[in-house]
Amino acid sequence: MPLRPAPAPPRRLRNQVALVTGASRGIGLAIARALAAEHCNLILTGRDQSALNKVSRELASAKIKILAHSCDLRDPHSVDHLFRAIRGEFKHLDILINNAGIAHANLTVDNLPLPLWQDVIDTNLTGTFLVTQAALPIMKRGSTIVNNLSIAASRVFTGSAAYIASKHGALGLTNTLREELRPKGIRVIALMPGATDTAIWNTFWPQAPRKKMMSSATIAAVVVNAILLPPNATVETLEILPTAGIL
Ligand SMILES: NC(=O)c1ccc[n+]([C@@H]2O[C@H](COP(=O)([O-])OP(=O)(O)OC[C@H]3O[C@@H](n4cnc5c(N)ncnc54)[C@H](OP(=O)(O)O)[C@@H]3O)[C@@H](O)[C@H]2O)c1
């Protein structure tokens, strides 16, 4: 039988531009890889510039335009700086992946220090707000915003009050944003994964059963498929759980 040439790689997001926060590792890195595979141009952000440079080098073979720019999304000036760089390189944003987030040590409310509470709320909730507010002026009809929340946005786990509160709050922000952007034709997706095997688990449950968890690549594949829906259709909530159930 004659050898057939390998099928051409998918390039369904060619010429589009996506910003991925928390792109240095975990779910954000997996989403960046999946978008690069679709030929989407990327802005990669996180606090660690050298980690972002490493991801940028890895994705260079995709022959896309990549801006790797560090940003601490708890800081409005840092977010402002990031968006000045984005506007310098790209004229608009088609896809915003609000993914960056932190968890905290397993502590009941009576033992949770205020600085830890504030850090988690500032990162997961206020950071999402700041990045979204900065992105909206350069997003037009047909764009997509994906907010990586968690099943912790709709359920509770003891010992994680700041994380749970930040994610419940971010779900409220996401649901409000969706209604505000509906007339503008911008889709807003609440991504609500269950346990996914990333470094975040070291913070609050280092011995968690990793083998039962989903991979970041699985989450990324679902996200890209949702983005690829025709602009007049959307998946408003993406709840993805390990088959083994909630850990
Ligand atoms: N893993 C799970 O089971 C799971 C399940 C549901 C939802 N999630 C959500 O998925 C998102 C990603 O988590 P992950 O599991 O992939 O964790 P991860 O591997 O620890 O990645 C977190 C990312 O966020 C970035 N980040 C943290 N603080 C930041 C800040 N202040 N400014 C900018 N970037 C910051 C980190 O980069 P730097 O440290 O370099 O800044 C890193 O790239 C989080 O929002 C998390 O709540 C995770």
Q: pLDDT digit string (tens) for 48-61?
A: 999 999 999 999 99
Whether 222 is in a domain gets the answer yes
Residue 8 lies in a domain: no
The number of beta carbons lying within 10 Å of the beta carbon of residue 244 is 13
Task: Check whether 22 has a pLDDT greater than 70.
Answer: yes
Distance CA 56, CA 117 (A): 32
Q: What is the mean pLDDT of the chain?
A: 96
Catalytic residue list contains 23:
no
Domain assignment of residue 3, yes or no: no
246 within a domain of the structure (yes/no): no
User: For residue 75, is it within any domain?
Assistant: yes
Number of domains in the chain: 1
Asked if the structure places residue 4 within a domain, the reply is no
Is the Cβ atom of 193 under 6 angstroms away from ligand 1?
Answer: yes
CATH of the domain at 54: 3.40.50.720
Please tell me the distance from the alpha carbon of residue 88 to that of residue 70, in angstroms, as a whole number.
15
Half-sphere exposure of 157 (CA within 13 A, CB side): 21
Is the minimum distance from the CB of 100 to ligand 1 under 6 angstroms? yes
Structural domain harbouring 54: 17-240
The Å distance, Cα 235 to ligand 1 centre, comes to: 22
Q: What is d(CA 140, CA 27) in angstroms, rounded to the nearest whole number?
A: 26
| 128 within a domain of the structure (yes/no) | yes
Q: What tens digit of pLDDT does each residue of 96-116 get?
A: 999 999 999 999 999 999 999
- Per the CB < 8 A criterion, the answer to whether 124 and 101 are in contact is yes
Q: Would 12 be classed as within a structural domain?
A: no
